[in-house]
Structure 1
Amino acid sequence: MRRYDIEAEAGRGGDISPDGRVRVRRGENQTFRITADDGWEIADVEVDGESVGAVSRYTFESVRGDHTISVTFRQIGTEPEEPETPALPFTDVAEGAWYYDAVAYCYENGIMDGTSGTTFAPGMLLNRAMAAQVLYNLANGAVTTSAGFPDVAASAWYADAVNWAAAQGYVTGYDNGSFGPEDSLTREQLAVILYRYAGSPEPTGTLDGFVDTASASDYAVDALRWAVGEGLLTGKDGGRLDPAGTASRAELAQILARFAQR
């Protein structure tokens, strides 16, 4: 019997149960329960990108496709408490945002930095240089010899990362010998890089439930199956995997946090 995915996410201040990627048989119901932590309350619940209010329970009835449900919480005004761990320095990453915890994890563990001292740019599209750099940070990569890409200057902030990633076989250049550091990175290209970094294990996931599987490049199919099986990539609206779509820095933080904590 066909199954569909429901991706459930909760921001800081509470939980949704079940959470993560939930597989549901066609025609069945699936209920999610939302609980706020002490000192917090439910601010809003969005289903497939649309607000359904501050509900503590939501049921998808007679499921016939993929869905998403995300929750944001807000703190309740109470008497002053002892200061908590300092908040992130980024003014563009609000507490309660679906990507807040992932950005915090990546920042606190030295995997991702901001685009400045006070901005993270969560909506900025990921490029090839950024992908090499975060992988270099994740692996504590070491400086290596130049990979010989004519468009990667030795003085570039990403040079060590690109040269290291190329030496490890995690990234490759184009047929003309260039690397294209500022070229946007697609979701399938990101999956391939992480798949290679993970050692190219036997994939256990399937792409059968996505409507756009045919648009995936042949070289990326195993990597996409692996990423789906590991819960790193999930579907978008309409049951799309969107392999040729670009990823934002917020999406990268979410994927890297899941990858690092597997």
Structure 2
Amino acid sequence: MWKKVVSCAAAGFLLASAPLPSALGGNAREAHAAANFNDVSSSFWASKEINFLHSKGIIEGYDDGSFLPNNKVTRAQAAKMILSALGEKEPTVSNDVFSDVKKDHWAAGWISLAKQKGIISGYENGTFKPEETLTRAQMSKLLVRTFEQEYDLSVKDDTVEPFSDVWINQEFRPYVSKLYQHGITTGTDSTHYSPYSSVNRAQFSVFLSRTIEPSYRVSSAENGGSSTTPPATTSTYGIVKTDSLNMRSGPSTSSGVVASLKRGTKVDYLGDQQGYWVKVRYNGQTGYVHKLYLKLKNEQGSSVANRVIVLDAGHGGKDPGASGNGVVEKELVLDIAQRVQKKLEAAGATVIMTRTDAATYPELKDRTDLAQSKYADMFVSVHTNSAPSAPSANGSEVYYDTSQNTNGSESAILAKEIQEQFVSLVGMNDRGTKDNDFYVVRNTDMPSVLVELGFLTNSGDAAKFKSDYYRNLFAEAIYLGIKNYYSL
């Protein structure tokens, strides 16, 4: 994990202090004359900082010319950007760096260099987890500890940051305070820093630009100036989904009850998540509620931004699933699930895949346990049907469970939204939505569905499965169904 000189288990970073490289000087205001990416217009709130870092070779876009500003920043991406900001060049590696970072990994050189410099180390099991995302708390430590000469933690400032979700005894508070005092951030709003929210690429670009180029910094409260900040991707609130929900003084059932909330009650989501407990505000009071009993909604931006969604490509490895007309289920559903993943991530969601290749077969319990352990907001399992004795059977259907799933009624709503897209967008025969206790939907407590795209044994359905055009439509249908669910 990330290391630092002082023990830091909560955020997992140990960072060497470093001077700001002179190569990053110059006229920053001239570095953003025009947008470099097709999804970052000149009016985009972070365009100046993104283009500044791009002009310095610190960040890059994707092959299609996009930057995907709402995508979350991974550990691998952070290693590259921080080292690039220090003026380092990527070395060539001849051996695997970690057990999950092979020498042909796109960031292997950067990760290897960061390891050599003592900026990072791996986990005890020999992995690095390059695709794991960073929180805003971790980012604050990463920046302050890396550029320690700039921030100088030995100097105690009198200014107190105004964030109600950054408590005095929290391990990362000194780092957040330094960012605030130096004009790097004023929070996601005037009173919240959202330390446990994931950092997206636009936000990281702004924070890093302001760290290495003072002219980008905002006027902080310490000099009495007005201030601006990278805005939150969304303004989020929650709707109570159960008849009675206790709001407690702390993140556990042993904490005292602050208020009792009825179904349909709207609460402000304050972004402090501890396990499945989230901090909310209602009628002037703050407290914690269990996330599974809230439907989180965004007042602006993408409806799926900041939602944690588990995509389960059915079968895999030793279990190929069904087959017919030259199509194998485990391969087809993985391809479509990965297309859904790209669409969701481009819209700002955090997506967790239960498998990422055709050779892997997670047990059913492993799939549901993963969703529970990641405190997911949603679980979607992708499958196909087969009826060798009835080749005329065709069409899509979506299953949910109300027998054991805590969010059975919400699952039914999600199932309906996805099924409607299969019918209207893909032109599938409508086999409806059905309440069934399949393992993966009954053993998950978040809104969960199992989609059956169609029948491999039907020539018409199979023809669509063989078409790249229709595969993308199937993925779009699932994506739109999820998006519409969060818009309701």
Q: Same fold (TM over 0.5)?
A: yes
Q: Which residue of 2 aligns with 1:212?
A: 165
Query: In 1, Cα distance between the equivalents of 2:106 and 2:139?
Result: 20
Query: In 1, Cα distance between the equivalents of 2:96 and 2:147?
Result: 21
Query: Which stretch has the larger CA shift, 196-205 or 119-128?
Result: 196-205
Q: Which residue of 2 aligns with 1:257?
A: 209
SS of 1:91's partner is coil
Report the TM-score, using the length of structure 1 for normalisation.
0.60
Shift of 1:148: 4.4
Instruction: Give the alignment's Cα RMSD to 1 decimal.
Output: 2.6
Percent identity, aligned pairs only, is 27
- Residues 189 and 225 (structure 1), Cα distance of their counterparts in 2 relative to 1, 3 Å cut: same
Q: Which residue of 2 aligns with 1:124?
A: 71
Q: Which residue of 1 aligns with 2:198?
A: 246
Q: Which residue of 2 aligns with 1:111?
A: 58
Output one character per residue of 1:28-78: Cα deviation in whole Å (capped at 9) or x when no partner.
xxxxxxxxxxxxxxxxxxxxxxxxxxxxxxxxxxxxxxxxxxxxxxxxxxx
1:163 to 112, 133, 158: 112
- Residues 256 and 234 (structure 1), Cα distance of their counterparts in 2 relative to 1, 3 Å cut: same
Q: Which residue of 1 aligns with 2:432?
A: none
Q: Structure 1: which 5+ residue stretches go unaligned?
A: 1-84
Q: Which residue of 2 aligns with 1:18?
A: none
Report the TM-score, using the length of structure 2 for normalisation.
0.33
Q: Which residue of 2 aligns with 1:228?
A: 180
- Residues 165 and 228 (structure 1), Cα distance of their counterparts in 2 relative to 1, 3 Å cut: farther
SS of 1:102's partner is helix
Which one has a bigger Cα radius of gyration? Answer: 2
Aligned pairs, how many?
A: 177
Query: In 2, Cα distance between the equivalents of 1:91 and 1:216?
Result: 43
Q: Which residue of 2 aligns with 1:197?
A: 146
Query: In 2, Cα distance between the equivalents of 1:164 and 1:232?
Result: 27
- Residues 238 and 101 (structure 1), Cα distance of their counterparts in 2 relative to 1, 3 Å cut: closer
- Residues 193 and 118 (structure 1), Cα distance of their counterparts in 2 relative to 1, 3 Å cut: same
Shift of 1:217: 4.8
Equivalent AA in structure 2 for residue 172 of structure 1: S
Query: In 2, Cα distance between the equivalents of 1:226 and 1:147?
Result: 37
Shift of 1:212: 0.7
Asked whether the 8 Å contact 1:111–1:137 carries over to 2, the reply is: yes
Output one character per residue of 1:131-155: Cα deviation in whole Å (capped at 9) or x when no partner.
1111121122253877942111111
Output one character per residue of 1:144-169: Cα deviation in whole Å (capped at 9) or x when no partner.
87794211111111111112223323
Equivalent AA in structure 1 for residue 44 of structure 2: A
Query: In 2, Cα distance between the equivalents of 1:94 and 1:216?
Result: 41
2:44 is the counterpart of 1:92: no
- Residues 117 and 137 (structure 1), Cα distance of their counterparts in 2 relative to 1, 3 Å cut: farther
Shift of 1:86: 7.2
Q: Structure 2: which 5+ residue stretches go unaligned?
A: 1-31, 215-488
Q: Which residue of 1 aligns with 2:259?
A: none
Asked whether the 8 Å contact 2:164–2:191 carries over to 1, the reply is: yes
Q: Which has the higher contact order (CA 8 A, sep 6+)?
A: 1
Q: Which residue of 2 aligns with 1:149?
A: 98
2:46 is the counterpart of 1:133: no
Output one character per residue of 1:73-118: Cα deviation in whole Å (capped at 9) or x when no partner.
xxxxxxxxxxxx9733411001111111111101111111102251
Query: In 2, Cα distance between the equivalents of 1:181 and 1:216?
Result: 30
Query: In 2, Cα distance between the equivalents of 1:259 and 1:240?
Result: 20
SS of 1:214's partner is coil
